[in-house]
């Protein structure tokens, strides 16, 4: 049970990192 929760939280963190890095990239594109 706890192992599944750890995997879920880890994948959630990876998704957050991907989303935030994509947002940073978009902001960098808009600001010359």
pLDDT on residue 22: 96
Write out the residue range of the structural domain in which residue 30 sits. 1-32
pLDDT on residue 31: 85
Give pTM, 2 decimals: 0.58
Count structural domains, the chain. Answer: 1
- The Cα 31–Cα 25 span in angstroms is 10
Nearest to 29 by CA among 15, 13, 21: 21
pLDDT on residue 17: 94
């Amino acid at each position: 049970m706890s192992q599944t929760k750890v995997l879920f939280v880890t994948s959630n963190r990876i998704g957050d990192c991907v989303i935030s890095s994509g947002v940073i990239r978009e902001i960098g594109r808009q600001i010359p």
